[in-house]
Chains A and B, each alone.
Chain A
Amino acid sequence: MFKLFRFLKPYWWQLIILILATGVQVWTTLRLPALMADIINDGIVPGNTDYIWVTGARMIGLAVISAISSLVSSYFAARVGTSYARDVREAIFTRIINFNLLDLKEFSTASLITRTTNDVNQVQMVTIMIFAIMLRAPLFLVISIIMAIQTAPDMSWIIMVGAVSIIGSAILIMSLVMPKFKIFQELIDKITLITRENLTGLKVVRAFDNEKLEKKKFTKTNDALTKLLIFIDKVLELQNPLINIIFNGTTLLCSWVGISLLSKDFAYLGNMTAFAQYVGHVMMSFLMMSMLFVMLPRANVSAHRINDVLKRVPKINWKNKTNGVPDREAKVEFKNVDFCYPEANEKVLGDVSFEAKAGETTAFIGSTGSGKSTLINLVPRFYEATAGEILINGLSIKEYAKDDLMKRIGYVPQRGMLFAGTVKSNIKFGAPDATDEDMRKSARIAQAENFIEKLPEKYNSHISQGGTNVSGGQKQRLSIARAICKKPDIFIFDDAFSALDMKTDARLREALKEITDSAVVLIVAQRVSTIKDAEQIVVLDNGRVVGKGTHLELLKKCKVYQEIVKSQFSDQEFKTEMKKAEKGGRRA
Chain B
Amino acid sequence: MTLFIDLTLNGLTYGLIYAAVALGLVLIWRATRVINFAQGALATLTTYVAATLLDRSLNYWVAFAVALAAGLIFGALTERVFMRPLYGKPELNPVVVTIGLLILVESVAGAIWGSTDRGLTPAFSQLGLTVGHTYLDFSSFDIFILVSVLVLMGLMLVLFRWTSLGLKMRASAFAPEVARLLGVRVGRLLTVGWALATFAGALAGVLVAPLLLLSPNMMDPVLVYGFAAAVLGGLDSPVGALVGGVLTGLGISYIGGYLGSSMETVGAAVLLVVVLSIRPEGLFAAAKARRV
Partners in one complex: no
- Which A residues are closer than 8 A to B by beta carbons? none
- Which B residues are closer than 8 A to A by beta carbons? none
